[in-house]
Chains A and B, each alone.
Chain A
């Protein structure tokens, strides 16, 4: 009996170890390649660790490319997208969860349709929309385009979170003399806070790594976001893999730090309302 349990535990740990290697191997290759000089990247036999450690690739990224500006642009766009997503989606999600009207359910499903339409399909209309507002080649224009990605799913996330909160709590606040707005700000919002933090982070993540819209909506280096700026390291005839990997590390690190810091809220927020709604 004990040996069977040990065997089962061993198999589970082995599977978990394989999953870990499968997941982390590309990250390890990215990280260590970023510290390799050009001659080490293609050495045979292949080695994970550099023979000679160098920061040259990072120097290229920070002093010989537009990546610093692009990273700043990505942060600006991400924050704008997060803020706008939360404002729009909380309003919409709350309305869908709390107000009874004939088209509530079809409308909710219609919003979700935005999530299943391929991005290439909405690219041209969005481009024309952003162009009509004269926002092409601006960080605000990119943020507008990214809202098309974040709004549908976040609206649903928020709707489910609000629906999971007993309406009795809001009614109690209103019986005590508060308005609906008071009930929302004093009761619903504090309860929803972890979920909203997760939704905001989700929106930020979506915006942070988005490539297609950002590559089409921006033309100058002053508005390019970091994923688009990564392509600068691929020339007409060659790819600077060392610099590409260093830039990828720079691009990944803030997100990993953010995720680790807010992991508790993220998981709680994503599962909030999962059993009722």
Chain B
């Protein structure tokens, strides 16, 4: 990881000055937006396949059970290597992937018993693993940075502060040993506490200890004054690297195995018949979901991460009929949601409204004592913004949106009304009862419509040059005749033909 960061930093320094890079990364907004977008893009890509496989909620289960993987890896690392890894360690990621696969396996196992339905099997498996994780966290690793807040919503807002410092120049690290002339020593009483005596007491025994011994990184050595040249440093947030690697891995897997994933999602039976191992692909997908879930865990917590898997693909599904476009749109929606979500957390809704102003206005209007500073959870705001985009797609999608569906239905209803009237005129216009059946003033009664509806329909039909009105009687124009005839031909024959 560290070498990779070196590589990226050196690449970036070709385009941007070091001071600017540091200033850029030190801005909480930049790091949070980058990390949030990377989570959103990788989540959206995988979530698209989950959605199409009808297993969106599996991402919810996995995002919880990765906690077990993290904790078990943490304990194993502690007992095997005697050291606790931090949350971006490779072993934690391996543990999380294993936990993800274990969740799916356990669910399958319960479901295969034939005694429990699929959704219930998932609901049985993942709380079990999550509960074990929670107990282990509180009993075994209570000292670790895994508090409830982190599990709930993550800490994307402080992602900028958890950095690796990369030294570019003047990189002198220093190790001070007790023999070093720079070592500072002091006398410490070794038995004062146990005997409950003061160091001035005669019985006090002393030993020399070194107060500043140890290893100093270039930055620390400079601060402590051991080096004469200030090191040139870049502070690189760890979570950017972790999420960038995971996003690239996801992208690579989907580009390479696009065809296989598509086939096994659409038609697993054919995939199996052609020898494509759908089960293998299934678990591969689950491993990727676990990896992204654990990578995102630190930043957005285990509950909200599921939103990044589900909402963008659900929105994209309404916007297109093509899988490649669905992958693209859901990534975009996720990334834009993350970007605008950060602003929302600071009170800025898409640059349209400032929520602090709204709070102030509410205070003025109703005399509420609300705090006027809007400062809320970043990850939750990202979820809200993504959901807002889903809502927009849901309402305004040209093909499947609420509005277009409503308009289409209204048009269908209207054109059906037209046909009913045309049919009626066609049927009666040469009959002896025509005078009674086709009088404009009483036409509405034959249909049991309101006069207003009849008037409107006739107006539309006349505007379309389908009917004419002579001396209070309505009749079909030539165009109207053709129309009515066509309708009879195509719609009233009860033969289902292939178009």
Is the A/B pair a real complex?
Answer: no
Give chain B's interface residues, CB within 8 Å of chain A: none
Give chain A's interface residues, CB within 8 Å of chain B: none
